[in-house]
Amino acid sequence: MQNNIDKLIKGCLIGDQKAQMHLYDSYCNAMFRIACRYLQDEEDAKDAMQEGFIKAFANIGNYKNDFSFGAWLKRIIINQCIDVLKKRKMVFAAIDSESLHMIDDEDWAVDVSITKAQIIKAIEQLAEKYILVLKLYLLEGYDHEEISQILSIPIKTSRTHLRRGRLQLKELLKEKHYEAGY
């Protein structure tokens, strides 16, 4: 599979549209699912995915084999989604004067009977400023330095939004757990 992807990338470098189409077909479903995680409207997600692919093909010469092509493309798609959200004037409050208190992992634990889908649905109910940080950290695996660069916010803000978002998420999941009668 990787040999095939490498051949397609080489084809894209010389502007081969068939190679671009094959590469697109190989990754479009996964990238669409990623875009849907960030943008609630499917049409917005499709548009962001398409724009992300256009950017990827325009900048494919910058791709390095240090990471998989899928990981490189995923970052472009996520950044494109974030650009869409920024255009909607989503505001992140900078947090400079607050002190942070680290929470033990056991304080963050949720009931094992709660599914990933339930967690994602609960994340969508949080304040917008927490949603992106939680998704980037929990679902995509980015660290605070990467999140701060992607969202153009201080690292301290990323940590605070993650902490507050996780606390709100935990409370939401507890409420859902009790409502379900567990």
List, for residues 92-138, the tens digit of each pLDDT value: 544 443 333 333 444 455 555 677 777 878 888 888 888 889 988 98
How many residues are present in the chain? 182
CATH class of 105-179: mainly alpha
Domain extent listing, the chain: 2-87, 105-179
DSSP classification of residue 102:
-
Where are the alpha helices (H) located in the chain, listed in sequence order? Answer: 2-13, 17-38, 42-58, 69-87, 105-108, 116-123, 128-134, 144-151, 155-179
Q: Show the CA angle centred on residue 103, arms to residues 97 and 160, nearest 5°.
A: 35
Q: Which residues contact 42 (CB under 8 A, 6 or more apart)?
A: 36
Q: For residue 82, what are its two tokens?
A: 């974030």
Dihedral angle sign, alpha carbons of residues 138, 90, 78, 99:
negative
Domains 2-87 and 105-179 share a fold: no
Cβ pair 60, 76 in contact under 8 A:
no
pTM for the full model? 0.64
The domain over range 2-87 is classified in CATH as 1.10.1740.10: yes
pLDDT recorded at residue 11: 93
Q: How far apart, in whole angstroms, are the C-alpha atoms of residue 144 and residue 45?
A: 25
Name the pLDDT band for 28 (thresholds 50, 70, 90). Answer: very high
- End-to-end, the C-alpha distance of the chain in Å comes to 45
Q: How far apart, in whole angstroms, are the C-alpha atoms of residue 158 and residue 152?
A: 10
Q: How far apart, in whole angstroms, are the C-alpha atoms of residue 19 and residue 17?
A: 5
Question: What is the overall mean pLDDT for the chain?
Answer: 82
List, for residues 164-181, the tens digit of each pLDDT value: 999 998 888 887 665 554
Q: How far apart, in whole angstroms, are the C-alpha atoms of residue 85 and residue 63?
A: 25
pLDDT recorded at residue 120: 79
pLDDT recorded at residue 151: 86
Q: Of 4-8, 44-48, 67-71, 108-112, which range is least confident?
A: 108-112
Q: How far apart, in whole angstroms, are the C-alpha atoms of residue 47 and residue 168?
A: 31
